[in-house]
Amino acid sequence: MHELGVTFHIMDHLEKVAAENKVTHIRKVTLELGEVSTVIGSYLQNCWTWAAKKRPLFNEAELVLETLPAVTYCEDCQKTYPTVEHGKICPYCGSEHTYLLQGNEFNIKEIEVE
């Protein structure tokens, strides 16, 4: 389960930011999670709940997940389309010359502190 590693990575980063800004407690973290990021939201939530109890900075901190839709770009017709619905083949022109524009990332969007 790589969600635990993702959780530790996020918390490690936030601990550095909190120290730089003299923050003693984080109440809520909003994370943008790409639709095809391979991170499973429910697993990430479970890992966060477990890990937050082990780190005073995050004690009872809420994790909010916002899904970023996966969007693919077609190089041939220059249109975008929903990746999950259509996959790699462009629904407009049938081309396979496509690439993912967004939807594979996870970003810390917002942090609420005391």
Residues in binding site for Zn(2+): 74, 77, 90, 93
From 64, 7, 74, select the one nearest 32 (Cα to Cα): 64
One-character DSSP codes across 26-47: EEEEEEEEETTSS--HHHHHHH
Known binding-site residue numbers for Ni(2+): 2
Contacts of 11 (CB under 8 A, 6+ apart): 51, 52, 55, 57, 58
Binding-site annotation, residues: 2, 74, 77, 90, 93
